[in-house]
Chains A and B, each alone.
Chain A
């Protein structure tokens, strides 16, 4: 359960589901340690049978009312369907499948843990979803208030109402966060498994190599002895032996190198899937890239003409219908647009006025140029 952010190591991880926690804790034999009140632990409150009479006595508890009874009582009373709790004074209907083994020695703790689990399953927002640390701590505070109220029977109705209201309002987010937690847990466990697997493989490989080497050395020696025994010349045999040994060593080295490369390749593939970096935050959503704008925000508007698709002038008709040009992707509109731009580019530019203005005021022109993004280079002739 999360705590206010002072020390993230305090408190267990959020997403561990019920079964594991219970099995782990069950293995630790918490419930079966010596209690302070011995009489309570031994006798079933319903049938009054004790461990002395039945050695395999097991006590079960129902999270509805947290009354404990022995397994045989549960079987006897609830096998035929839901029934009332046998403890006098408690009139809740219990069901057989909800009975379970008690994890904690103190029944109050068990109840509180169940409540907390229930609350956490609904109020599972993460720190990243909050704008500031203060907001996150406030949220945690509210959750803790609800939990406290539920545990200590304060304003139960009101609290339950709030609980349900929040749950119905935020179903989608609850589900998303639950999924995220599930994924994290999976990736974490897969990571651990992969690491163990790698370590095991390396040990195996080293052992195999050692064995191979030893076997080879023995074979060589045996072969040498055989050859000497069959009467070959000692010197040549020795030389051959050396050569063969060298060749074998080189081959083996090449083979190990290849294998190591292969392994590195597979490892890298695996690594990229399960990142070996520990303590990495969950990945953020990547914004899709906007399509690139070649003109960087500039737009063009024609005030004097609109380009038509077809011009009847025979000068361009041949080129338009010529397959040799069209196949390469040439569009006759490239030409016609440039012709019309040239025809009207500067029609509204009054050189006489603008040039006299410029000689009086260089700054304005520089502004115009700067807007269009053009720079002039002053190339004064050398004196």
Chain B
């Protein structure tokens, strides 16, 4: 079977595409389903709450968290993870944040409050992204109990469906940077199927790109005189750093990882940073006659608008978080309240069952032996049991 695979086909084999990509509607549906299941469970154990006998769970729904509140809480903790890993200079914030988001697609804050989960998620990301440290070292740095970190780990892995690879846009961004720098210096790789004007002509065109618009994120400003190659290099590098910052914060704190591919993400960030440069670059890759060009451009622009619509004041403040957490304490699932104990019991539990069975069997055997030495033989009932067991 000779089949030719393009880059898109290669992306389609990744678990990020297969399991963790959603259309906006299906994402919403998934979250709502999780939330509804959690509320239903909450109604069942709501009778044990100190609010008194409740027949109708719907009447007390305001006692539970709403879907938006859950989302905002998750976002707050994503920010928390980000700042923690930045503080410790670990390069793992993107992966950890994605793990947390994926976890809360199939689980609800009511069952597993993010306060107990996010440290485990951060530890898992440490292990995955090659900044592994021992559990005691990590616990010391985060100043938490090691058992509390390990307890939810298996549950987190299950929720992640054991797929730990998160495709990030950073390496792709570096690739684009490399290509742009080469293009500015007159070296171009010819793509088959795309006719180009040749390296020199492209370089001239590049020098003639218009200035970035006012609202562009790049810090670069056009020089006074004619644009030269070194100005171009500066422009490209400035666009890169601006895009990088965009990917660091807004991309992680929105749902774009579920809705767009990393390639579209990075191009959207570049677009926000320096729109003329990006459109010039895309023209060299996708000629005007290509059929997918309008669709790709539309996708990139929508993604860019999602990124730009994010602003810092959307994140919960500390006080809001504290208030929400007290509310959560009242309505959370009591069966998962003590994760550490549950974890320890789960590890121990199977063994104790075995021991009990062994003891019972031994007793039965001894009893049948003793009765066997009786003058008139063992009683019929025990003999039957002893014969079977």
Contact = CB atoms under 8 A, between A and B. Distances in A.
Interface of A: 296-308, 310-313, 315-316, 336, 338-356, 359, 365, 368-369, 371-372, 374, 376, 379, 381
Contacts of B1: 296-298
B2 to A, nearest CB: 5
Given A301-B6, A308-B187, A352-B259, 7 more contacts: A300-B4, A302-B191, A303-B193, A342-B263, A347-B264, A376-B19, A381-B158
B8 A356 contact: no
Contacts of A301: 4-6
Nearest to A371: B3
Say what secondary structure dominates the interface of chain B: helix
Given A299-B4, A303-B191, A351 B259 contact: yes
A43 to B, nearest CB: 85
Contact of B17 (A298, A305, A349): A349
Given A356-B26, A359-B26, A345 B8 contact: yes
A261 to B, nearest CB: 52
B171 A351 contact: no
A269 B1 CA distance: 44
B179 A305 contact: yes
A316 B182 CA distance: 13
Contacts of B175: 336, 339-343
B8 A316 contact: no
A312 B185 contact: yes
A349 B285 contact: no
B203 to A, nearest CB: 13
A305 B285 contact: yes
Given A298-B3, A352-B259, A374-B13, A342 B171 contact: yes
26 contacts: A298-B1, A298-B3, A299-B4, A303-B193, A304-B285, A305-B189, A308-B182, A308-B189, A310-B187, A311-B182, A313-B178, A316-B178, A336-B178, A338-B171, A339-B175, A340-B175, A340-B178, A340-B179, A341-B7, A342-B169, A342-B171, A347-B261, A347-B296, A350-B299, A376-B18, A379-B158
A65 to B, nearest CB: 70
B269 interface: no
A319 to B, nearest CB: 13
Contact of B260 (A336, A351, A365): A351
A158 to B, nearest CB: 55
Contact of B261 (A296, A341, A349): A349
Interface in B178-204: 178-179, 181-182, 185, 187-193
